[in-house]
Structure 1
Amino acid sequence: MLSVTQTGPAGALRASPSMLLRSSGGNRSDDVFGHSGQLLRRRERGNLRVVNFIGLTGPAGVWGLASANSMLLAASEINRRGGILGREIEPSYYDAGADIEDVVQQARDLIAHEEVDVFMGSHISAVRVALRKAIGGRVPYVYTPVYEGGERTPGVMAIGETPRHQSRPAIDWLANARNAKRWYLIGSDYVWPWLAHKATKKYITEAGGQVVGEEFVAMGEHDHSAAIDRIRAARPDVVVISLIGTDSIVFNRAFAEHGLAARMLRLAGAMDETLLLGIGSDNSENLYCSSGYFVGRDSAPNEAFRARYDAMFGRCSPIPGSIAQSNYEGLQFLAAAAAKAGSVSARPLLQASSRMAYHGARGEIVMKAGRAHMPIHLAEAQGLDFKMIKTF
């Protein structure tokens, strides 16, 4: 857990994943916490204690540091404006990549000891499903990344992209512009790929395509030889990839190294510039991604976000791709919902957020009936960057 951070002269977070798992003995940033050089060993009850479960280990750990940075940047900005309903945000982090039962027990303990006002989450949906049951609506829970959709649990507010808006237009575009007819689906073996694939197969059929294969892979699996052999034998036009973090990096490298990148298109979910760096420019041919956010997209909100991120953490800090950036928007969403509700309690926040708008690096995000609506951008990898193709 991290509740106190060591910051350098430029306000940059100096923390490895192992440091984020425990309290640090460093000083708090003035911008984030508003206490110049003062080490607070006990949380102040006047602060708004936002506990973020982010992946710091496991396949999703590749996004961990940039996710923490993104949340700290949002906390800095909001605290400079006077906090949320006059309360300074006090962020802390727990590892969502640990055993799910351990993650759930940490949440239960935090609630039992009244150590949390709001939960945030940037982690896989399997953790969300377990946490929402443990939390039971007693504390508001903001879930930030791309997910399978359909979240209606009282007290849970999801702001990420869903298959209907993220995958459907990309599938239609590939069917029309690239004449894609045969599709193969491969994903991690948990709830997001299960349900995302269910929707994806429907969209493929509606686009006149055919699913020629589907499989799910255990998280952490790094030998994809057999899966690649099955893909080669199926001869798809497009491989839809729903693998997480480093698992996606390893698969995409192997896919290209086996000579398939030049012969087949790839459409990847939960893909961003962080993973693209790991995949490498030699392995990114014919790789497509659709998302509400890209680091390199030209827009005033994104350019302002990137400038503030670089100023706070340095230009060599971890890239805030779509998964990491969602942590920034999670706090901006919370601030807007609380301002409308006049409260940070679960029920008023849920009611206020069912129909509202907030602003982040993606621009304006409109919440309708609890669903986040935003422009979706289709991009193709070119080396280590994404080239914008179309906005839906």
Structure 2
Amino acid sequence: MMNSREDNGSWKLGVLFSETGVTSVIEKSQRNGALLAIGEINSKGGVGGRPLEPVIYDPRSIPEEYGRLAEKLISEDGVRLLIGCYMSSARKEVLPVIERRNALFFYPTLYEGFEYSPNVIYGGACPNQNSVPLASYLLENYGTRFYFVGSDYIYPRESNRVMRNILRQGGGEVIGEHYLPVTVGKEGFADILLDIERTKPDVIFSTVVGEGTINFYQAYYEAGHDARKVPIASLTTNEAEISAIGAKAAVGHITAAPYFRTINTAKSRRFLQSYANMFGSDELVTSCCESAYFQVHMLAEALEREKSLDIECLREQLLGSTWDAPQGKIKIDPDNNHTYLHARIAKVDSKGDFIVEREVRRSIKPDPYLVTPDLNDRRFRLQQAS
């Protein structure tokens, strides 16, 4: 077992978020969330008197690079704790590395579910925490005819499979489904937009990610579609993409997430002010950024209690632990390593801000295998946002 004290007296944390490439628009916000938490922790004396030291690499939005760099962090840099990844294809590259090396990996991104690893702490929403509330809201407010558009990799295909099953339960149907490369340009959506015009769905469900999101929403607007009548609803479109899309093209579109920066609570305001102090503006804060932020803080508290890099002991410290996050109180579920999270539905206003319209009052226990995807489950009951 590696000694709990690093050679330079610090605790090393591998940080694997892309600063370049097609998913960098969201991963930069995740990296910033992690670095903000590290800065706050170190300004208060670190962990046990020793600082957290980020060891940062840029995987360039290339899935294979995440696995290669995870191996480098562990074997060459002596790192036992890592945080990173946005796309599920990247996480799948890291997973065998951290399991083989018995490291602990923090994944601060919503994902498709249907996974468990003792070496992963999952900080993003799984389908029962975002897909189920979103489906309930859309069926109630827009209609039953859905059109799916996604990037062509694991998460969109699996997320759409789950959403299709949820919609069936509520009397919905999928009238179109298309996948495009992650690197698709605006022109790549032309045929899909023509088909949307022909089939006239009530709502579009998008699992397009990264720069493709920006291109899709702008192309939708430029083709003359009005999101206030037929919106694009998504689990992956956050503040960073909306800023790049522009308010005119983004108004009326919908996202489900545990956190939006327009939440007006004392904890959220402090988080945003701290972020703005460090990075100059809070404009690009996203739910995935907030997740990276609270995961690093929860790791630091576990390290403070354990004062060791023993992975099994650290995991025991983390499981069942709670934290007062910007989104509200959260908890790492000891049953499955996922996190109790809040559920909110927000719509983009004319200024380009997400305004929360509905929310589930209490955090939702994660059900990564969607054992009970019941739209009538009282746990998923949406209420008017306060």
Q: TM-score range by the shorter chain?
A: 0.7 to 0.9
1:303 aligns with one of 269, 280, 286: 269
Identity among equivalent positions (%) equals: 25
SS of equivalent to 1:174: helix
How do 1:1-392 and structure 2 match up within 5 A? 44-136=7-99, 137-178=101-142, 180-222=143-185, 223-262=188-227, 263-315=229-281, 319-339=284-304, 341=306, 343-368=308-333, 369=335, 370-383=337-350, 384-392=352-360
SS of equivalent to 1:326: helix
Quick check: 1:164–1:199 contact (8 Å CA) kept in 2?
no
SS of equivalent to 2:342: coil
SS of equivalent to 1:375: strand
* Structure 1 residues 216 and 360: alpha-carbon distance in aligned structure 2, compared to 1, 3 A threshold: same
Runs of 4+ in 1 over 6 A off after TM superposition: none
Q: Which runs of 5+ in 1 are unaligned?
A: 1-42
Letter in 2 for 1:333: M
Tell me how far 1:273 sits from its aligned partner.
1.4
Write the distance in 2 (CA, Å) between the matches of 1:95 and 1:253: 28
Write the distance in 2 (CA, Å) between the matches of 1:92 and 1:335: 16
Write the distance in 2 (CA, Å) between the matches of 1:169 and 1:327: 23
SS of equivalent to 1:219: coil
Quick check: 1:139–1:345 contact (8 Å CA) kept in 2?
no
Write the distance in 1 (CA, Å) between the matches of 2:82 and 2:110: 17
Tell me how far 1:59 sits from its aligned partner.
1.8
Letter in 1 for 2:81: V
Letter in 2 for 1:331: V
Write the distance in 2 (CA, Å) between the matches of 1:196 and 1:102: 24
Q: Which runs of 5+ in 2 are unaligned?
A: 1-5, 361-386
Tell me how far 1:298 sits from its aligned partner.
0.7
**CA deviation map 1:153-200 (0-9, x unaligned):** 12111110112111211211221133x110111111111112111111
* Structure 1 residues 54 and 114: alpha-carbon distance in aligned structure 2, compared to 1, 3 A threshold: closer
Letter in 2 for 1:298: N
Write the distance in 2 (CA, Å) between the matches of 1:374 and 1:111: 30
* Structure 1 residues 85 and 378: alpha-carbon distance in aligned structure 2, compared to 1, 3 A threshold: same
> RCO higher in 1 or 2 (8 Å CA, sep ≥ 6)?
2
Quick check: 2:27–2:86 contact (8 Å CA) kept in 1?
no
Quick check: 2:59–2:65 contact (8 Å CA) kept in 1?
no
Tell me how far 1:342 sits from its aligned partner.
5.0
Which stretch of the first structure deviates more once superposed, 150-159 or 338-347? 338-347
**Which residue of structure 1 aligns with residue 366 of structure 2?**
none
* Structure 1 residues 100 and 80: alpha-carbon distance in aligned structure 2, compared to 1, 3 A threshold: same
How many residue pairs end up in the alignment? 348
